[in-house]
């Protein structure tokens, strides 16, 4: 539970127990949308593409004339976009320039547990961590962010996040715009709570789900405008907020094509006028533009399912996010293909199938809160499993699994809707419904390092709504992680 501790004042304005009141921020849509730069990389003799990220403190001018203390990778806020091809070997040299330990997790990535960047891969101040792996999954919009146990909400909120795009050569054939920063646009959406002096503050007043800021920005730009020069534009939407769920659409109610979700392209485009994204989820959408017109990307009150008093959880909130302004002359765009990917249908028939049940309640999963020294689930490599996930609370949770992309087989026994037909790593849990997920664990066994499963509402995660699983060879036993909490001071 979120407990405000009277009299405790933290430095820096975030995680302060008596957060100052939220300032009313007037937003006019006139600033160019910041596009995170594509990260530089070098290719070593063995073909490994190496990126560098340094987490550091900085200051960002979100509001004209006001400097706000922020954190960022290779800059003051957010980080560059990493990009790699399927089959490539990659490495990232991650340096921690902060005064406290952090980690960097590759959200949505299929990779060895020791490279995952969860709470077992702490990077102490001044240290550099160098995970490496081979990209072995379809093209997708992934992202990276810190994952230190108990501190993730604050680290992400201060600004540590970025996109990690994967390519596999299919975008052109699928008719998808793919010119980064021109017609293929990353859109990291985050809500913030500004104090009168411009500081970012977390809400410690005890909202069950954490901080719901009254100011929403895209890529760190308040009142963002993007000039569109093509007939169609692809927006890669990422909900990079700590707690808020959005329902994205356009102010004129126009429909668009949903072509991708967390882990890659959908089998076929889904025509819709809104897409719901809970924290951590992504959606790739294609929007058709008319010459010389403008349209606003908005978030309208999201359907949170059977949440009691949804207004307390953002269920009544609406925001303008990004103004798309089309040039008087637009370059032709290709037609989006009718079939985007052709994945094999989910196969539940494997006799080795295991079904596990996960009940989310309060800050626990199956009645347990996170313990870095406890392995909650042992998975055997080369098997498919069904995980049945259910929230018992009348307020929002979602569910994120590291290492794998899952398929949503059904919700309360009914076939999942077309927007959930693709590869997912995070799913919103409408209260009191059972989500049946199919997960396939193909490789990367490790008896010592676990992967995480958790609620991606970051306050919940920090307060213990997380568990650990290992992937093992048949007959193998889990071993104590060398980075378990017994040997590690988390500073709490």
Residues that bind Cu ion (CB under 5 A): 397, 455, 457, 460
Taking the complex as a whole, how short is the minimal distance between the CB of residue 312 and Cu ion, in angstroms? 14
Taking the complex as a whole, how short is the minimal distance between the CB of residue 461 and Cu ion, in angstroms? 7
Taking the complex as a whole, how short is the minimal distance between the CB of residue 446 and Cu ion, in angstroms? 27
Q: CB-wise, 162 or 467, nearer to Cu ion?
A: 467
Q: CB-wise, 80 or 431, nearer to Cu ion?
A: 431
Taking the complex as a whole, how short is the minimal distance between the CB of residue 48 and Cu ion, in angstroms? 37
Taking the complex as a whole, how short is the minimal distance between the CB of residue 397 and Cu ion, in angstroms? 3
Taking the complex as a whole, how short is the minimal distance between the CB of residue 366 and Cu ion, in angstroms? 14
- Which sign does the torsion angle of CA 63, 67, 69, 74 carry? positive
CA gap 490, 122 in Å, rounded: 10
Taking the complex as a whole, how short is the minimal distance between the CB of residue 486 and Cu ion, in angstroms? 26
Taking the complex as a whole, how short is the minimal distance between the CB of residue 460 and Cu ion, in angstroms? 3
| Three-class DSSP labels, the chain | CCCCCCCCCCCCCCCCCCCCCCCCCCCCCCEECCCCCECCEEECCCCCEEEEEEEEEEEEEEECCEEEEEEEECCCCECCEEEEECCCEEEEEEEECCCCCECCEEECCCCCHHHCCCCCCCECCCCEECCEEECCCCCEEEEEECCCCCCHHHHHHHCCCEEEEEECCCCCCCCCCCCECCCEEEEEEEEECECCCCCECCCCCCCCCCCCCCEEEECCECCEEEEEEECEEEEEEEECCCCCCEEEEECCCCCEEEEEECCEEEEEEEEECCEEECCCCEEEEEEECCCCCEEEEEECCCCCCCCCCHHHHCCCCCEEEEEEEEEEEEECCCCCCCCCCCCCCCCCCCCCCEEEEEEEECCEECCECCCCCCCCEEEECCEEEEEEEEECCCCCEEEEECCCCEEEEEECCEECCHHHCCCECEEEECCCCEEEEEEEECCCCCCCCCEEEECCCHHHHHCCCEEEEEEECCCCCCCCCCCCHHHCCCCC
Taking the complex as a whole, how short is the minimal distance between the CB of residue 340 and Cu ion, in angstroms? 31
Q: CB-wise, 298 or 397, nearer to Cu ion?
A: 397
Q: CB-wise, 230 or 391, nearer to Cu ion?
A: 391
- Which sign does the torsion angle of CA 401, 274, 315, 19 carry? positive
Q: CB-wise, 122 or 455, nearer to Cu ion?
A: 455
Q: CB-wise, 226 or 244, nearer to Cu ion?
A: 244
Q: CB-wise, 361 or 388, nearer to Cu ion?
A: 361
Q: CB-wise, 13 or 280, nearer to Cu ion?
A: 280
Taking the complex as a whole, how short is the minimal distance between the CB of residue 243 and Cu ion, in angstroms? 9
Number of C-beta neighbours around residue 435 at 10 A: 25
Tokens matching residue 90: 């990659």
Provide the CA 16 distance to its chain's centre, in angstroms: 25
Q: CB-wise, 218 or 457, nearer to Cu ion?
A: 457
Q: CB-wise, 397 or 424, nearer to Cu ion?
A: 397
Taking the complex as a whole, how short is the minimal distance between the CB of residue 274 and Cu ion, in angstroms? 23
Q: CB-wise, 13 or 464, nearer to Cu ion?
A: 464
């Amino acid at each position: 539970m979120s407990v405000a501790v009277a009299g405790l004042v933290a430095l820096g304005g975030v995680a302060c127990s008596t957060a100052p009141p939220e300032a009313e921020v007037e937003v006019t849509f006139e600033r160019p949308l910041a596009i995170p730069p594509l990260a530089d990389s070098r290719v070593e003799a063995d073909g490994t593409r190496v990126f560098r990220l340094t987490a550091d403190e900085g200051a960002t001018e979100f509001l004209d004339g006001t400097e706000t203390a922020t954190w960022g990778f290779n800059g003051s806020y957010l980080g560059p976009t990493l990009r790699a091809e399927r089959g490539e070997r990659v490495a990232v040299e991650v340096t921690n320039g902060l005064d406290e330990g952090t980690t960097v997790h590759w959200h949505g990535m299929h990779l060895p547990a020791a490279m995952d960047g969860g709470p077992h891969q702490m990077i102490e101040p001044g240290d550099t961590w160098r995970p490496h792996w081979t990209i072995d999954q379809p093209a997708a919009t992934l992202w990276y962010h810190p994952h230190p146990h108990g501190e993730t909400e604050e680290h992400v909120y201060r600004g540590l996040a970025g996109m990690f795009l994967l390519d596999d050569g299919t975008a052109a054939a699928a008719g998808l715009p793919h010119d980064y920063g021109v017609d293929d646009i990353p859109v990291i959406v985050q809500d913030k709570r500004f104090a009168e002096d411009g500081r970012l503050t977390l809400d410690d007043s005890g909202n069950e789900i954490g901080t719901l800021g009254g100011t929403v920005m895209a890529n760190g730009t308040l009142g963002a405008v993007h000039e569109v020069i093509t007939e169609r534009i692809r927006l890669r939407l990422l909900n990079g907020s700590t707690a808020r769920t959005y329902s994205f659409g356009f102010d004129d109610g126009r429909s668009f094509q949903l072509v991708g979700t967390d882990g890659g392209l959908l089998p076929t485009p889904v025509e819709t006028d809104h897409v719901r994204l809970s924290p951590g989820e992504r959606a790739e959408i294609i929007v058709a533009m008319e010459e010389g017109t403008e349209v606003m990307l908005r978030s309208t009150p999201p359907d949170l399912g059977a949440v009691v008093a949804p207004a307390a959880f953002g269920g009544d909130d609406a925001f303008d996010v990004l103004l798309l302004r089309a040039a008087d002359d637009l370059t032709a765009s290709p037609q989006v293909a009718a079939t985007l990917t052709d994945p094999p249908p989910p196969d539940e028939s494997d006799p080795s199938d295991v079904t596990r049940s996960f009940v989310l309640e309060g800050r626990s999963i199956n009645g347990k809160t996170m313990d870095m020294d406890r392995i909650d689930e042992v998975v055997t490599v080369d098997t498919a499993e069904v995980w049945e996930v259910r929230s018992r609370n009348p307020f929002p949770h979602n569910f994120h699994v590291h290492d794998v992309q899952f398929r949503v087989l059904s919700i309360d026994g009914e076939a999942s809707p077309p927007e959930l037909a693709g590869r997912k790593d995070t799913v919103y849990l409408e209260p009191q419904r059972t989500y049946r997920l199919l997960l396939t664990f193909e490789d990367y066994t490790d008896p010592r390092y676990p992967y995480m499963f958790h609620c991606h509402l970051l306050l919940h995660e920090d307060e213990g709504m997380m568990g650990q699983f290992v992937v093992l060879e048949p007959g193998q036993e889990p071993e104590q992680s060398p980075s378990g909490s017994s040997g590690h001071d988390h500073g709490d």
